[in-house]
Amino acid sequence: MSGIHFTRIAALLTALVLTVPLFAARGDADFTRFVALGDSYGAGVVNASLNERHQIHSWPAIIARQAGAPLFVQPLVTYPGIGPELELVDVLSFPPVIRPATGTVTIDVSYPAPYNNLSIPGAAVQHMTTLTGAQQPTNTPTAFAQFILRGLGTPVQQAIALHPTFIAVWIGGNDLLGAVLSGTPAALTPVETFRTAYNAMLDQLVAGAPSAGMVVGNLPTTPAALPLLTTVPPVIINPATREPLLIGGNPVFLVADLGGGNIGQLPPGSVVLLTAAGKVAQGFGIPPALATQPPFNQLPGAGQPLSDADVLTPDEQVQIIARVAEYNQIIQQAAQQRDIPVADINALFNRFAAGFHVGPFEFGPEYITGGIFSFDGVHLTDLGYMFFANEYIRTINRAYDESIPVAGLWQYFANNEPGTTASGDGTRWTLSDEAAASILRFATPLPKRRLRGATH
């Protein structure tokens, strides 16, 4: 008798142990009211543009779909979007031709409640508790906040106002991206500022939505993953051969402002930003000694150095990577203290950098052809955001003992309708006239000049 009892108790205990998730996460993975906080990644910026063709594939939107969230409203912008979408025109020429699309943009700002996706392109961590959309639009985040936040409160306040059952956050990319884009580590958010802002954000969220489940994510430390940093070689390319020019068997590094007006040849390991590709094509960075020789004497910029903002020296890269590692420590600690699981986006970017297969399809970090990064070299493609969302979904599943299905690549096959697998390309779509008219009816035109000027 007692033997049977013991067996039953043991079985019960075993069952209990087995069902307790490994991570004691706060709240539940209940997506009845799901809110996301973030930056341009969360907003779904693709090809340097925020527009609805890609917003519907933002990582928060994918999580909402996969988790079956009943309502997930985003501040949709019509094509060609804010920052008109960059489009690949010619892939066979060298370099490939990528051009912004043209067209008129409308935004419907009539939605009365806070949006479920409160991601603000350009936003850094501190903006989550400071931006309201009521401020003067002086830079990217304040400009986007105009129609995303609409003066209804900070992203954190608006999130809480929705009485969220689950909150997903990925913020911090812009705390480091400014330094990358300006080519100087001085633009990095100071560590203590980052720590204070990140903890303030989580404190307010936890206090305002005490029973909501949460997930945050860390930041990539892998520069090699970004086409922004890997596409333009730091050495002189012979325009005739498209191969590095060799002098005495060695490549010739470009000349740039190495910091503080110190003009010199780039040390090995330096990177030239994709944003400087046009200048490099015009001959900037070619040393004066070579500038007078053909074919370089044909180039208008030859003999002039690249600017400090165009390049990152190995020293600068080390400083940025070290700072991001510190940010990640802060995120890890802040999350752990509050029982919030952390999605390992750093590992995801390592996977991006290494390249990987999904079924028969290969993905990698290459510009244009790799499939993960969009034409701006920083933001992801729709497929890239799918992998991003899946990393979050796996983290949520582990921490909350859930089984949300990941998003499947098959949804991004172009010909999934019956009878269309033989030909055709179903991905280009246009609004019907009726749909366009109904949007226009509710749209309040925004000060376009300000928004158009916005960059990310």
Of 191, 299, 406, 439, the one binding another protein (CB under 8 A) is 406
Of 110, 261, 294, 425, the one binding another protein (CB under 8 A) is 425
C-alpha closest to that of 54 among 127, 119, 9: 119
Q: 344 and 215 in contact (C-beta within 8 Å)? A: no
Cβ contacts of 204 within 8 Å, gap of 6 or more: 129, 156, 157, 160
Of 37, 162, 386, 451, the one binding another protein (CB under 8 A) is 386
Q: Does 56 bind another protein (CB under 8 A)?
A: no
Q: Does 427 bind another protein (CB under 8 A)?
A: yes
What is the closest distance, in whole angstroms, from the C-beta atom of residue 123 to another protein in the complex?
25
- Buried b vs exposed e over 25-40: b needs ≥16 C-beta within 10 Å? bbbebbbebbbbbbbb
Q: Does 17 bind another protein (CB under 8 A)?
A: no
Q: Does 449 bind another protein (CB under 8 A)?
A: no
Q: Does 208 bind another protein (CB under 8 A)?
A: no
Q: 351 and 222 in contact (C-beta within 8 Å)? A: no
Site stretch for another protein (CB under 8 A), options 315-323, 327-335, 338-346, 403-411: 403-411
Q: Does 358 bind another protein (CB under 8 A)?
A: yes
Site stretch for another protein (CB under 8 A), options 143-151, 196-204, 225-233, 296-304: 225-233
DSSP 3-state of 99: strand
Q: Does 369 bind another protein (CB under 8 A)?
A: yes
In the complex with another protein, the residue whose CB is nearer, 138 or 423, is 423
Backbone angles phi, psi at 164, to 5 degrees: -70, 145
Q: Does 421 bind another protein (CB under 8 A)?
A: yes
**Tokens 């206090």 belong to residue:** 207
Helix ranges (H only) for 117-224 are 140-148, 155-161, 173-182, 191-208
C-alpha closest to that of 452 among 135, 81, 44, 45: 81
Q: 415 and 427 in contact (C-beta within 8 Å)? A: no
In the complex with another protein, the residue whose CB is nearer, 22 or 24, is 22
What is the closest distance, in whole angstroms, from the C-beta atom of residue 82 to another protein in the complex?
19
Give the span between the Cα atoms of 257 and 290, in whole angstroms. 18
Q: Does 92 bind another protein (CB under 8 A)?
A: yes
Q: Does 355 bind another protein (CB under 8 A)?
A: yes
Q: Does 412 bind another protein (CB under 8 A)?
A: yes
In the complex with another protein, the residue whose CB is nearer, 125 or 407, is 407
What is the closest distance, in whole angstroms, from the C-beta atom of residue 89 to another protein in the complex?
9
Q: At what angle do helices 59-67 and 382-400 cross, to 10 degrees?
A: 50
# residues contacting another protein (CB under 8 A): 64
Q: Cα dist. 378→51, 188, 212, 366 in Å? A: 16, 17, 31, 12
Residues found near another protein in the complex (CB under 8 A) = 46, 87-88, 90-92, 94-96, 230-233, 237, 277, 355, 357-364, 366-371, 374, 381-383, 386-387, 390, 394, 403-428
